[in-house]
Structure 1
Amino acid sequence: MIRKFLQEQKNDWEEGLPFLLFAARTAVQDSLGCSPASLLFGHEVRGPLKMVKEKWMEEEVQVPSLQYLSQVQEKLVTAWEIATENLESSQKIMKVKYDRKAKPRSFSPGHQVLVYLPVPGEPLMAKYQGPYTILEKNSSLNYIIQTPEKRKTKRPVHINALKPFYHRVSIASYATVGVEEIERIFPQPELPL
């Protein structure tokens, strides 16, 4: 939303930014079921159009301070309860959608794995490094791996940072094997005459 606004308002974007942020903060969020501003303040924020409507309709009524504070507190509690319910249901829906594509993974002690670790000297970069050996399984999601060349020789790792390591078999390793052995490993199909 902000990117699109900036692309359209190339010359005077900074003047319209507060209005864009106001619109974003007062828009109803699907996951919460209400706007962030109503969660923060306990009521809908009065925008320019609402103020014009109130002046036109003369809806403004004076409320005593203590009564107003108790009303705001009740609204905040109600808004918090509604937002919590909506957020929980939204999280359940997101989990179901995620679990459709998720595949269960598990490793055992002794398995060789690659680990997604930060690159030294590059704090915002990470890559798969290894292979490292799994020493123990703390839970279904956490493992202790052995990292002998690192400062920490043992480190806990979440399963999301692990992937299995597969040893490559090179063709060069077959160079020392005789022709008969290669034909046994890779049989040639017989062609019809």
Structure 2
Amino acid sequence: MIKKLCADHPRAWDRFIPAALFAFREIPNDSLKFSPFELLYGRQVRGPLTILHELWTNDSTDSEVKTTYQYVLDLRSRLEETARLAAEQAEISSRNYKAYYDLKAKPRKLNSGDDVLVLLPSSSNKLVMQWLGPYSVVECKGNGVDCY
């Protein structure tokens, strides 16, 4: 979002950050299916378009007056339900991402004495990675992943 703001308004991009943050917090997350605002406050945000819609359609939330105690109880139940649904969606998304990631993965079995290359940061720049080796495998743990 900031990259787009910088491209569209190179001299005044910083003036648009609050609006961009509001839009980011209002939009439901792809993996959780809830907006950050809704997860935090237990309700949907009332943005300018929502308020305008209520004014045009004469929808008013003042017709339903609640006590403070009832509001807190309702808020608690909404937050618990939202957290439960978000956790379920996160689990589903996690499984989907793993399945997509594993499409091109190949199982590899290393044995003691095998020669391997290791991807490590370079000595001159920690952000630049380079393959080093070959090194000999000394020991593999029982999980088949950790080899030294």
- Is 1:78 matched up with 2:81? yes
Give me the whole-angstrom Cα distance separating, in 1, the residues matched to 2:106 and 2:147: 18
Comparing 74-83 and 120-129, the one that deviates more: 120-129
| CA displacement, residues 74-112 of structure 1 (integer Å, 9 cap, x when unaligned) | 111111111111111112122222222111112111111
Q: After superposition, give the CA deviation of every residue in 1:56-91 in whole Å (9 maximum; x if it has no partner).
A: 533234432222222221111111111111111112
- Structure 2 distance, partners of 1:59, 1:40, is 21
- What code does the residue aligned with 1:98 have? Y
What residue number does 1:141 align with?
Answer: 145
1:120 partnered with 2:131? no
Identity %, equivalent residues: 34
Q: SS of 2:126's equivalent? A: strand
SS of the residue aligned with 2:128? strand
Q: Which amino acid aligns with 1:85?
A: E
What is the rounded CA distance, in whole Å, between the counterparts of 1:86 and 1:80 in structure 2?
Answer: 10
C-alpha offsets along residues 42-67 of structure 1, whole Å, 9 cap, x if unaligned? 11122122234445533234432222
Unaligned runs of 5+ in 1: 145-193
Residue of structure 1 in register with 2:109 after alignment: 106
* SS at 1:132 equivalent: strand
| Range with greater deviation from structure 2 (19-28 or 55-64) | 55-64
SS at match of 1:143: coil
Amino acid at match of 1:104: P
Do the aligned partners of residues 53 and 62 (structure 1) sit closer, same or farther apart at CA in structure 2, a change above 3 Å counting? Answer: farther
Q: Secondary structure at the match of 1:122?
A: coil
* Larger relative strand fraction: 1
Aligned to 2:61: 59
Aligned residues: CA RMSD = 1.9
> Which one has a bigger Cα radius of gyration?
1
Cα shift at 1:33: 1.1
The structure that is helix-richer by fraction is 2
Q: TM-score of the superposition, structure 1-length normalised?
A: 0.67
The 1-side partners of 2:5 and 2:24 are apart by: 12
- Is the aligned partner of 1:90 residue 2:93? yes
Distance (whole Å) between structure 1 residues aligned to residue 5 and residue 80 of structure 2: 34
Structure 1 residue 38 displacement after superposition: 0.8
* Cα distance between partner residues in 2 of 1:69 and 1:125: 52
Q: Structure 1: which amino acid aligns with 2:85?
A: I
Gaps of 5+ in 2: none
